[in-house]
Chains A and B, each alone.
Chain A
Amino acid sequence: MNARRVIAAAAVVAGVAAVTAGCSQVDSLKQVSGVPINTLQIAVGTVLVNNKVPILVAPNCVEVNNDSTKFECKGKTTTGQEILATGTAGASNNFTLSPGGTPTPVPNGTLQLPMVVKVGGKVIYEGQAQAVIDSSQGGAK
């Protein structure tokens, strides 16, 4: 990006900020919400079904202490055992895809989200949430 382009980019961003600053609209200008918590919820459900856990109440994942990177999911089996899953969304890594070598931010698909799933206190899965989702759809990406 040359200097002229940087100036133009800055002007565009500054313009948008100037028009919308201080308004409730600013908060709304983000992507559709819920990616990490959805990822965790799906991975936990997949682990439980793959392990043939008899589910009475499927774990519902919620943020812990309003922290949008820490999640906890609680449920119950038909035999009264507690289902507990926890997960923490990490920062995305960078990687290079462009032939020209431009670093591209990691897309949602490679979200770092380690999780632990326990049934009746026993760990039945510990690892990345994304790995569970990938393996349920034909192996690692």
Chain B
Amino acid sequence: MAGLSRRAFLAASTALAATFAVPRDALAAVLAAPLKPANVPTTLQQTITIGAPTYQKYRTLVAGPGEAYLPRYDITQKVANAARTQTRRSLLYLGHYTDIHMIDAQSPARLDAMNGQSMSLWAGVIRPQDTLQMNILAEMTRAMNAATLSPLTGAPMAAAVNTGDSADQHSTLELDWYLGVLDGGSFTPNSGKAGEYEGVQVWENTWAWHPEDPSNDDFGAYGFPAIPGLLNAAVSQTVTSPGLAVPWYAVFGNHDTLLNGFAPIDSGLRALATGDRKADDWQALGEVYLRGMGQDGSVFNRLTNDIWTQQGLDARMRHVTADGERKLFEQLDFISAHLNSPATPGPVGHGFTQDNLTTGQTYWAADLNSQFRVFGLDTCNQTAGADGAVPEDQFNWLKAGLAQAQQEKKMAIVLSHHNSVTLENAAEPVIGGQTLYHADEFISMLREFPNMVAWVNGHTHINTIRPHGDAQGRGFWEITSASCVDYPQQQQLLEFVDNRDGTMSIFVTVLDHAAPAKWSKNDFSQTGLASLSRELSANDWIENPPMRIGSPLDRNTELLLNAPFDLSTITDAQVEADQAKSRARIASFDQRQPK
């Protein structure tokens, strides 16, 4: 640690050893070792691609070659100085999760039966791999922990960020499971009856994959295999996650705000969620929803009740085992659940504070280290619709916060669920709405601040990178990650680097989860089911799986920026002090893991 004096180094080692409960001498040895690129499994080393069809159109996955970083000069509009590779220093290294979509696949309040009305229109209400989502998040967390030292510089990961859609269908169980996997623990992804799957994948229909026997469904026609025992194995297994090694921060996604990310939640759905009846028919499910909108005794309520009776919709509801833990959560429940998180990996609240709970404000700001401030937005529309917008009060709060950060010479990163092609939702409440800002106005505002370097988001489940520059070579990068649920089930590593030549770079590294590319038949282990989930997602013909991986310009990239201010004012000692704290935290995590 060349930037720190010997006295400062010893003081830092001692203090960090005490803070993170690691032996001082061992920590001092870790901190004294120079940073070097870490040999960690990322898509720099190996990619996963879709192989040849094995039956009908069904394909398995194969390992492919790694992808090197592609430099992008869209904002600076000049080719970068080749000497930067010898002079650069890491300022911040982050993990990025988005669109985790934890799923309680058996919840009666899921909209899965709507697939019977139109598979294309209702894409995403049910996927073949729904029962395996906890496996994905646990294996992604393993992959993230394996990459806590940067493959580019060896810098330690300071934090991870999660840009929303954490609970797929607004279930309290989904919320608890997602938090539990990221914080660490063991869970069984089941609700209702112990050890037995109850739901549409074993009921008679053509619109869901039936692993026991798909010969009479559309997925079987496509070539999906029979995998007897899969569903019961999936809901019986215990999934174990070490939790993240680093602190993590979260924002709201539209699935954390509205049912299935677009529909208001009414009393009919709330009762359905915790009850013992589940629709296996889309008309019945639609009627439950409509009936929940009406007041008892109203004309609308009488009409929907008449339809329910006359059409015999009651007979199209199946009995399932009731489970009160499937309760649909409220907006403030989402915040309080985060505030109930443990101190490690922390921070308690994962960005949300007690103030959010008290005031109802759903956005926050935090410093990730001495040089970077992150703003966690809530771009979700409370009224209706999957896409988003920025309400006026939040827009003004962010603008003031960016100005303050600039005054303090801190670089700014904005987190939101929605991205620039989906920030155009105009839905307002019938009474009491405020002005909604959409993509063009939002981007213009962000560009007013030279310290604004990155907008990190999700929502579309597609790896996408967009520049937002101006004619003077100023601007910021928008970085959108694929999801944990749809193919390719990838997330990102982000590293912010000072090139010491008047420019800085953001390195984006795409991360596959830790399960192997190929699923071995009848491997129902935690890792095996995660491999199978990825394979199933690659064959989800309702979606467009290969498109979601993005182009090479959206994956492993070096995104050049002109430095937002003179970065030489940031001393090496400051950088090393930040890194020492992160290295001590990671050493502490490693020490706690079973050998």
Chain A interface residues toward B at CB < 8 A: 4-5, 7-9, 11-12, 15-16, 19-20, 23-25, 27-35, 37-39, 41-46, 48-49, 55-58, 60, 78, 97-100, 102, 104-109, 111, 130, 133-134, 136-139, 141
Taking the complex as formed, is B428 at the interface, i.e. its CB lies under 8 A from any CB of chain A? yes
Per DSSP, chain A at the interface is: helix
Q: How far is the CB of A56 from chain B (nearest CB, A)?
A: 5
Q: Closest B-chain residue to A4, C-beta based?
A: B311
Residues of A near B218 (CB, < 8 A) are: 97-99, 104
Count the B residues whose beta carbon is within 8 Å of the partner chain — how many? 75
Please tell me which stretch of B1-9, B117-125, B130-138, B397-405 contacts chain A, meaning at least 4 of its Cβ atoms lie within 8 angstroms of it. B117-125
Q: How far is the CB of B260 from chain A (nearest CB, A)?
A: 11
Task: Report the Cα distance A4→B220, complex, angstroms.
Answer: 29
Q: How far is the CB of B493 from chain A (nearest CB, A)?
A: 20
Q: How far is the CB of A92 from chain B (nearest CB, A)?
A: 8
8 intermolecular pairs with C-beta atoms under 8 Å apart = A12-B287, A12-B307, A30-B386, A33-B421, A99-B216, A100-B206, A133-B546, A138-B51
A11 touching B307, Cβ below 8 Å? yes
Interface string of B447-481 (1 = CB under 8 A from A): 00000000000011010101100000000000000
Residues of B near A60 (CB, < 8 A) are: 466-467
Q: How far is the CB of B455 from chain A (nearest CB, A)?
A: 15
Task: Report the Cα distance A86→B119, complex, angstroms.
Answer: 30
Taking the complex as formed, is B37 at the interface, i.e. its CB lies under 8 A from any CB of chain A? no
Q: How far is the CB of A99 from chain B (nearest CB, A)?
A: 6
Q: Closest B-chain residue to A56, C-beta based?
A: B73
Residues of A near B516 (CB, < 8 A) are: none
Q: Which of B190-228 contact A (CB under 8 A)?
A: 206, 215-218, 220-222
Q: Closest B-chain residue to A47, C-beta based?
A: B551
Q: Which of B505-557 contact A (CB under 8 A)?
A: 541-547, 549-554
Q: Closest B-chain residue to A60, C-beta based?
A: B466
Taking the complex as formed, is B62 at the interface, i.e. its CB lies under 8 A from any CB of chain A? yes
Taking the complex as formed, is B152 at the interface, i.e. its CB lies under 8 A from any CB of chain A? no
A29 touching B385, Cβ below 8 Å? yes
Task: Report the Cα distance A97→B49, complex, angstroms.
Answer: 25
Task: Report the Cα distance A56→B262, complex, angstroms.
Answer: 39
Q: Closest B-chain residue to A104, C-beta based?
A: B119
Rank and list the top 10 A-B pairs by shortest CB-CB distance, nearest first.
A28-B385, A45-B551, A137-B546, A28-B427, A109-B544, A138-B50, A34-B421, A12-B286, A25-B384, A45-B553
Residues of B near A136 (CB, < 8 A) are: 546, 549, 551
Taking the complex as formed, is B394 at the interface, i.e. its CB lies under 8 A from any CB of chain A? no
Task: Report the Cα distance A23→B427, complex, angstroms.
Answer: 8
